[in-house]
Structure 1
Amino acid sequence: MVKNIHRSLVSAVIAVSLAVTACSPAEDGAVEEEKGASASALTLKDNNGEQELHPPYERVAVTDNRAFEILSDWGVHIVAAPLDLVPDTLSKDINEESVEANLGSHREPDLEALVAADPDIVVNGQRFSQYQDDLESLVDGTPVVDFTPRDGEDMAKELIRQTEAMGKIFGHEDDAKALVDDFNAALERAKKAYDPDKKIMAVNTSGGEINYIAPGKGRFYGPLFELIGMTPALEVDNASDDHEGDDISVEAIAQSNPDYILVMDRDGAIAKDEEGYTPGQKLVEDSSALKNVTAVKEGRIVTAPQDTYTNENIITYTETLNAMADAFEKN
């Protein structure tokens, strides 16, 4: 009987001891919490250096035109944006009703409105890159990231870098990978379909005029010359990356006799509702100076999506590359 009581007491002591051992790690719990906290930390290098980030982010301000469509498609909650720069194609999701603060435009920004919106991260870039310091001071302690494609860098790599960074920050890495895969496939398709014996001209239609987009440095289409290996129909000294393209004579464009003309319709993005607006492709097709050009006679005119000038993201490039591939494959 005494032995049985002794055994029972020993068992009870062991059981209590095991229970205490199992429960005691308030320390283990703390370790797990610490691991969880450090696992959520994210260090990324953007255009201004290393950024230590702590997602998830629930109140997002976006000033970068190249990020609007991506984040909107992913359902990211945007609390502040320069609505004057948001393309009409995205205004259903990014508008006065959906955002708490309209930051205006890069020409007359209302940066103070950002403070009232109380974002937990700001995705800055492109036209608003110039306000980086101002934004940082207004939202002191809140990260302001900028992954705008950098001048002088490979545009394909820069678009991928930006997209992948957005995926990591906002927990959409699989979606970002899908965008990158689509872009790479479109680029490879355009490369494969293009015949280097065919001469290419890129133009920007602005103010009803047809302006030259320089291979390499010109807006939107410029980088595609090198990425695809396209043969320029015309190369001009001292060409620029001007947002309206370079002003050279339509006769000079005609004389170069391009086999394909690539059109970015700037007016289509910012002035399509104005009186007298003519779509860029129609301007090219109806130009008397261009009527005998091979590209016009053969119907080899490729127009980027109408909102391209204010929506130059990886999705827009993918759509344009596929349209170019379609044209190259037909001819």
Structure 2
Amino acid sequence: MIHRSSINGVRLDDIGRRLADIAPTATTDVPGLGVRVHVALHPTPPIPVIFEPMLYLVFQGTKRLLGPGGELTYGPGDLVTTAVHTPALTEVLVASADKPYRALEIPFDPQLVTALIADMHTTPAPATVETIAVHPLPEKVLDPVHRLLRLADEPDAAKVLAHGVKREVWYRVLTGPDGGAFLDLSRTNSLLHRAHAVTTWMHQNLDEPFDAGRVAALANMSVTSLYRLFKSATGASPGSYHKQLRLMEGRRRVVQGADTIQQIAASVGFASPSQFTRDYRRAFGTAPKADFPAARERSSPSRYEHPPRSAWARSLPPRPAGT
């Protein structure tokens, strides 16, 4: 089910047009603002991703996600919040060249949010904390988001003003019904804070072998508690989660084509290229050599518009009728 916001559609369209000016046809990072504009010109097959803590605002098109908590579908006027690094499958359901899928990603900034919470003096107690959730986009978020995007044309002004505008965006979220997870994430020693610390360490140490005892010590908890935490926060065991991260990064490097399979396998912690190839094929439905740029250029476009369905992709339920 798509969660619909009651926000005035014209205002959503205004921001959608601004996103189109910034990123007409492709997903684009906006360094001066510290945000990313997501664009898709057509529906896509399921793609494995790792969500980082962020706010994700949808203005046009429809997408769905299959994560630890099940299936979520989101479209115009929805706010997706993720409070911990989360492996998932996503696919664009509704998009076209005339009406592309458009969304805005605002990464979680621990320093900004922690300082903001301190200035708020009192904060509401977190509601039931969801590590990934879809809510109607709060109307009070729209004005600062629009002002932030207008700064894309003024790089000098963005250096001075963007931080303050993003602070306002986060204030509106933290003081609304969707802020509980980020309040909890910012509290030292909370379980969510510990999960974030561990998953961040894993991201930064992909070439390290997984050691449950060492990882548990990082979070200042027992191995048993670590496994419970990961199952709750990410839907996977710590070892399985770490492997998914390594494969995701391996695929990114394969698609870039800058290194050999042997070099890529070693850089993401696999004992051998054959082990990397076997696990890569199981996860993504194709061998890494088929995903190198030269191999893609030799293949017909249709092969990459609808790639083989991997084990992750096969776990998705059928698309809704008419999408």
The alignment's TM-score, normalised by the length of structure 1, stands at 0.24
- Structure with bigger gyration radius: 1
